[in-house]
Amino acid sequence: MVAITAMACTTRAPETRAPSYPETGLVLLSLHDGSVVASEPVGSDVVAVIVSEDGKTAYVADSAPGDVYAVGIPDLQVAWKQHLGGAPFGLLLNRGRLFVSLFSGASVVELDPLSGTKLATDAVPDGPGAMAVDPGGHVVVAGTRGQLTVIGGDRLAAGNGFAVAEAGGRLWSADYARAELVPAGDDHRVGLPLPVFPFWLAPGAGNTLLVAAEGASEDTDPGGVFSFDTVTGSFQTLATPRDPDQVLLSGSTIFVAAHGDRDVLAIKAGLTKVWAPGSGAVALASDPPLGYLVVAVNSHE
């Protein structure tokens, strides 16, 4: 395995007046240049956000109170709120349903995205985290008990962590404490090129997997953001921000919620730009239909 480190140039756009961000809530940025379009307080402990296919609704997980919100875009007004308890963690839209993993509730709840009505509850092992759709169209839930759970199906051996994503035609998980990537149902493990701990995975370009990993001290030590080629087994180091909570690819740009640095990184063609400086970004969702990057901010997380 070969680790390849990219030396990226980082630029910070000058601002005449720093925008005011909510303590916890949503911020809309222009996908074109990162300018702030709107912001609004939502909930009290937001940890995740996703966007509907048409780009008109954002769904937000509010962990400590145990609530899920549907918020209109671009007005950022709440359309509905559903109390679930159990510390909502992961959000996923699939086949007309909103799936919500409850980290302390050992379950995944299925909601109607239009109304928030509960449609079903699926029992899973303790500590469910992020979710993904496998190549067969099934919802798969990461877990902190060393397995992936297929909703309505089997369990697959995996890393003990919070993350799952599809890349190169197969599912990948993360073993947080061991700083390793683990393909689903396989005993093969891939160590990260730096001593950091993988929190989030996302599909990258081609056969690559994007990895956001925290430092030993989450808020103060540098973490790492990597692109892992699932075919060659090589890594590219994209950035080393503090506490990178999420990474995602939108178009040809890789975005990172760098919570410890209180900003969003936009990485493209070796150039890294700093967006929304001063925000406590914890989660991201791309909204190409309307041209926004939706940022969940949480100064308390």
What is the mean predicted confidence (pLDDT) over 40-62? 98
Q: Which two tokens stand for residue 13?
A: 């756009």
pLDDT of 226 over the 80 cut: yes
- Domain assignment present for residue 27? The answer is no
- Domain assignment present for residue 212? The answer is yes
pLDDT of 67 over the 50 cut: yes
pLDDT of 51 over the 50 cut: yes
What is the mean predicted confidence (pLDDT) over 6-15? 45
- Taking CA 95 as the corner, what is the angle to CA 104 and CA 256, rounded to the nearest 5 degrees? 60
For the entire predicted model, the pTM comes to 0.93
What is the mean predicted confidence (pLDDT) over 166-181? 96
Residues in a beta bridge with 182: 173
- Domain assignment present for residue 23? The answer is no
Residue 7 is predicted with a pLDDT of: 38
pLDDT tier, 18 (very low <50, low <70, confident <90, very high otherwise): low
pLDDT tier, 46 (very low <50, low <70, confident <90, very high otherwise): very high
What is the mean predicted confidence (pLDDT) over 253-265? 97
What is the mean predicted confidence (pLDDT) over 138-159? 94
Residue whose structure tokens are 């891939």: 190
Are 125 and 147 in contact, with CB atoms under 8 Å apart? Answer: yes
φ/ψ bin of 120: left (φ > 0), alpha (ψ from -120 to 50), beta (otherwise): beta
**Dist. CA 181–CA 204, nearest whole Å:** 15
**Dist. CA 261–CA 245, nearest whole Å:** 11
| pLDDT averaged over every residue in the chain | 93
pLDDT of 13 over the 90 cut: no
What is the mean predicted confidence (pLDDT) over 114-134? 97
**Dist. CA 108–CA 125, nearest whole Å:** 10
Split into its structural domains, the chain has a count of 1
* pLDDT tens per residue across span 266-275: 999 989 999 9
pLDDT of 14 over the 50 cut: no
What is the mean predicted confidence (pLDDT) over 77-90? 98
Q: Which CATH number do you get for residue 114?
A: 2.130.10.10
Percent of the chain at pLDDT above 70?
94
- Domain assignment present for residue 28? The answer is no
Residue 29 is predicted with a pLDDT of: 98
- Domain assignment present for residue 251? The answer is yes
Residue 2 is predicted with a pLDDT of: 34
What is the mean predicted confidence (pLDDT) over 149-176? 95
pLDDT of 15 over the 60 cut: no
Residue whose structure tokens are 């008990």: 145
Closest CA relative to residue 126, chosen from 154, 101, 109? 101
**Dist. CA 220–CA 291, nearest whole Å:** 33
- Domain assignment present for residue 67? The answer is yes
Residue 300 is predicted with a pLDDT of: 81
Assign 277 to helix, strand or coil: coil
What is the mean predicted confidence (pLDDT) over 40-46? 98
* pLDDT tens per residue across span 88-110: 999 999 999 999 999 999 999 99
Q: Which residue range is the domain that position 266 belongs to?
A: 3-8+44-298
